[in-house]
A and B are shown apart, each in its own frame.
Chain A
Amino acid sequence: MSEPTQRESIEARIDRLELPFNARGIDPFGVSKKHLAVFYKALGFLYRRYLSVQCHGQENIPVRGRAMLVGNHSGGVALDGAMVVAASFFELNPPRLAQGMAEKFLNVLPFASEWTARCGQLTGLPEHAERLLEDDRLLMVFPEGAKGTAKLFKERYSLVDFGTGFIRLALKTKTPIIPLGFVGGADAIPTIANSYALGKLVGAPYVPITPWLLALPRPARCDVHFGAPLIFSGTGAEDDEVIMRYVDEVKARIAELIERARESRHQRAPLSLFTGGAR
């Protein structure tokens, strides 16, 4: 994280988000500055200290205008998504709010419903994704979906099947795709099994089981690499073969970035918790 960023307060950075907040700090999608401040404080601790995330290639994310961050899930719960939101806020100048597509079950749960909405993480619906891009926002997409977060520890560097909707949407809205590779999520939450029965009980697709049972993250080093923008031309109404070719291209690019992230992770100094020196 750059020096000026560390000195600047979270509130000051939120003020620099280029979003149409009203006088009470609420934007037309219900994103609230007040909630963002709490959210980013928690994310900042995770990002800087607890998970010690190192970010590379953030210059590939456009400063403004529509863009789609497309990446892999690295296991456990969607820690990777949260850390990409943190990277977009702490590493970019001006900061940007990366808006993900929250799992539908979250909107049914009290408090999760309120907080995801106020922090701009709208329910995962194609209409939301399209509208955010039309509004020139930074959309975050994980085409592996819930199958990606359900990866076991041993599968952490693999990629499961990608959906195709994100490519059709990128073509339709003429949005550049910024591929990203994320590693480390599975070290923080190493899933040894997924309990689908427990998931049903709490209203989630599954509940990951770790060696310490609960899916609470342990300190770990994470690396995220953003790649150069991929721009595809078309209308979004192309045949599946054409779309699959583009999907495979994005997937291959993400696989490369995962490898790059693994290499840079091995070169880093050992983790030093709570000192900020875990680089």
Chain B
Amino acid sequence: MKILIAGVAGGISQKLALELVARGHQVIGIDVRPWPGAPSSIEMHRVDLRKRAAEDVFRKSRPQAVVHMATVAQLGANIEDRARINLDGTQAVFEHCKNYGVEQCVIVGRHTYYGAASDTALYHRETEPPHALGEFPELADLVAADLFAGAALWQQPRLTTSVLRLCYTLGPLGQGTLASFLKGRAVPMVMGFDPLFQFLHEDDVITALILALEKKVRGVFNVAGPQPLPLSALAHEVGRPVLPLPEPIIRMMLGRFGLPKLAAGALNHIKYPVVIDSSAFKTATGFVHKYDELATARAFKQAFPLR
């Protein structure tokens, strides 16, 4: 199968590309970032997904499937730039899919779509709406991109669209929101709160994405693996001490000491859990995680020991 990966220079995307090539697929990569040392078997295009050059890649290559991983989730990024990349980029992907005969599109979204709040339940199902957006507007563009992608399910009935809401990723690559949070010398916590964190080993993420492609699943799916762990237990497993601070002090620190300036509602993500129910994806694809929560944390710890 000819597969185009948008955002191919990211750590997980590179791994996915290499695995797909190893399985005999033809891979075309798009990214504005370089991928030094990309194998010659991967056709790499350093273009912006939202620009004409990216459309040219679709027109000339005519991929059968697209994996859209070119979204930005970093909270430190400029919110307007982020929104443009996440929304306009997703729109461009679906436009090109429609115009150039793509059969399948996998959108890699985030489980933080559901939001964190004191009155939301554990194990969100796909039918639930996002919560607490008002308190954490920085998530709005990712939520909008997710819902926009979901609309393709009825707007483009001939395109097999899979919207995946992936839980946090952890492993030796050390990329992503959770990994960045855990890499420091101590894990800051809001005193008196210890939410559950749900994460998937990087290799299991690759397995899940390949299953979504191969099984051609259509719909919106939560993707998670092993059971979640409380943040304090996770910190312990990755060999980091916790630093519990009273909430007013953490609020004062936002925007200072190298921390991003965020709405106070962002703290809800280290006060309350975002835990998803992934049973629909498992039923549709037969996905089984290879690494449990402790093995996943261990893999991260070995790659990023506390110095």
Which residues does A use to contact B, with CB under 8 Å? Answer: 20, 22-24, 26-30, 32, 104, 107-114, 117-118, 122-123, 125, 127-128, 131
Interface code B186-206, partner A: CB below 8 Å = 1, 0 otherwise?
000011111010000000000
A253 to chain B, nearest CB (A): 29
Give complex CA distance A28, B293 in Å: 11
Contact, CB under 8 Å: B118 / A113:
yes
Q: What are 26 residue pairs bridging A and B, where the CB atoms are less than 8 Å apart in the complex?
A: A22-B292, A24-B237, A26-B229, A26-B230, A26-B233, A27-B227, A30-B228, A32-B230, A104-B119, A107-B118, A107-B119, A107-B272, A109-B192, A110-B192, A113-B192, A113-B193, A113-B194, A117-B194, A117-B196, A123-B119, A125-B119, A125-B120, A125-B121, A127-B123, A128-B121, A131-B121
Contact, CB under 8 Å: B227 / A131:
no
Collect the chain A residues with CB atoms within 8 Å of residue B123's CB: 127, 131
Collect the chain A residues with CB atoms within 8 Å of residue B271's CB: 113
Contact, CB under 8 Å: A122 / B272:
no
Give complex CA distance A117, B195 in Å: 9
Collect the chain B residues with CB atoms within 8 Å of residue A28's CB: 227-228
Contact, CB under 8 Å: B229 / A114:
no
Which residue of the partner chain A has the closest CB to B192? A110
Give complex CA distance A104, B228 in Å: 22
Which residue of the partner chain A has the closest CB to B277? A131
Give complex CA distance A101, B230 in Å: 20
Q: Does B247 contact A (CB under 8 A)?
A: yes
Most B-side CB within 10 Å, residue of A27, A30, A104, A109: A30
**Which residue of A29, A30, A111, A128 is within 8 Å of B192 (Cβ)?**
A111
Additional pairs, 14, CB under 8 Å, beyond known A108-B118, A118-B230? A22-B227, A22-B293, A24-B237, A30-B196, A104-B118, A107-B272, A110-B190, A113-B192, A113-B271, A117-B194, A127-B121, A131-B121, A131-B122, A131-B123
Give complex CA distance A109, B227 in Å: 25
Which residues does B use to contact A, with CB under 8 Å? Answer: 118-123, 190-194, 196, 227-230, 233, 237, 246-247, 271-273, 292-294
Give complex CA distance A26, B194 in Å: 13
Collect the chain B residues with CB atoms within 8 Å of residue A118's CB: 194, 230
State whether A114 and B294 are in contact (beta carbons under 8 Å apart), knowing that A30-B230, A125-B119 are contacts in the complex: no
Collect the chain B residues with CB atoms within 8 Å of residue A109's CB: 192
A-B pairs, top 3 by smallest CB distance, nearest first, are: A110-B192, A127-B121, A28-B227
Contact, CB under 8 Å: B122 / A128:
yes
Contact, CB under 8 Å: B122 / A122:
yes
Give complex CA distance A20, B191 in Å: 28
Contact, CB under 8 Å: B194 / A24:
no
Give complex CA distance A209, B291 in Å: 52
Give complex CA distance A23, B294 in Å: 8
Give complex CA distance A227, B123 in Å: 32
Collect the chain A residues with CB atoms within 8 Å of residue B119's CB: 104, 107, 123, 125
Which residue of the partner chain A has the closest CB to B190? A110
Give complex CA distance A6, B191 in Å: 36
Give complex CA distance A109, B233 in Å: 21
Give complex CA distance A111, B194 in Å: 9
Collect the chain B residues with CB atoms within 8 Å of residue A24's CB: 229, 233, 237, 294
Give complex CA distance A32, B194 in Å: 12
Which residue of the partner chain B has the closest CB to A30? B196
Give complex CA distance A20, B273 in Å: 20
Collect the chain B residues with CB atoms within 8 Å of residue A108's CB: 118
Collect the chain A residues with CB atoms within 8 Å of residue B237's CB: 24
Which residue of the partner chain B has the closest CB to A135? B123
A102 to chain B, nearest CB (A): 11
Give complex CA distance A112, B271 in Å: 12
Which residue of the partner chain B has the closest CB to A124? B119
Give complex CA distance A117, B246 in Å: 19
Collect the chain A residues with CB atoms within 8 Å of residue B118's CB: 104, 107-108, 113, 123
Give complex CA distance A107, B237 in Å: 25
Give complex CA distance A123, B120 in Å: 8
Which residue of the partner chain A has the closest CB to B293? A22
Give complex CA distance A71, B247 in Å: 37
